[in-house]
């Protein structure tokens, strides 16, 4: 019975608590790390992944530290260290491939495939991910946009039980399709 219990516990942590499992097996993460639903951190090689402070991985981000595509041909899988600096946001559905280093103060657009290193203070997007602009320029554009579109306080967030009427109000006020939420 004890062997069965241990096997179930291993399955539980792999499926329901992947972060705890990966940390136990060598993944390194800094302070204020946020990981949303569906994030995949390489199961086979988590000890090759290092993530800095204040990093957010949006839903369905995938970080891969190995590539077995050549295994049947050359009898080896390729492995590579993945290092993510501090103050990095990785957009939903992005994929970070083996051997990539991402600098500090980086924004990676949703759906990007990061196959090459990203220097500090850049915004990248696309497949393959390319530099779009500096972080400073990106923030300036967004601050300018915030002057023209509605901005909503914390009371409009799902975590604060936004009401149906408030949801309707947000949609009406966002006539240009965009708004900002604290």
Distance CA 27, CA 14 (A): 14
Selection from 106, 178, 109 nearest residue 146 by Cα: 178
Distance CA 59, CA 150 (A): 25
Contact 174, 160 (CB under 8 A): no
Selection from 171, 170, 178 nearest residue 148 by Cα: 178
* Residue 67 CB coordination number (10 Å): 14
Clarify whether 66 is annotated catalytic: yes
> 160 — phi, psi (to 5°)?
-105, 20
- List 5, 45, 48, 66, catalytic entry: 66
Active site residues: 66
């Amino acid at each position: 019975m004890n062997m069965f219990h241990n096997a179930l516990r291993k399955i539980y942590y792999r499926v329901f608590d992947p972060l705890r499992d990966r940390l136990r097996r060598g993944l390194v993460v800094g302070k204020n790390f946020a990981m949303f639903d569906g994030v995949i951190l390489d199961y086979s090689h988590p000890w090759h992944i290092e993530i800095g402070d204040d990093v957010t991985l949006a839903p369905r981000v995938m970080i891969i530290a190995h590539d077995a595509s050549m295994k049947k041909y050359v009898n080896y899988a390729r492995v590579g260290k993945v290092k993510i600096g501090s103050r990095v946001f990785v957009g939903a559905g992005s994929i970070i491939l083996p051997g990539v280093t991402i600098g500090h103060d980086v924004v990676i657009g949703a759906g990007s495939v990061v196959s090459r290193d990203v220097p500090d203070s850049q915004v990248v997007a696309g497949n393959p991910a390319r530099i779009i602009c500096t972080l400073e320029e990106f923030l300036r554009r967004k601050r300018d946009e915030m002057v023209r579109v509605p901005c909503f306080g914390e009371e409009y967030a799902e975590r604060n039980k936004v009401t149906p009427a408030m949801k309707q109000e947000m949609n009406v006020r966002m006539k240009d399709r965009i708004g900002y939420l604290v």
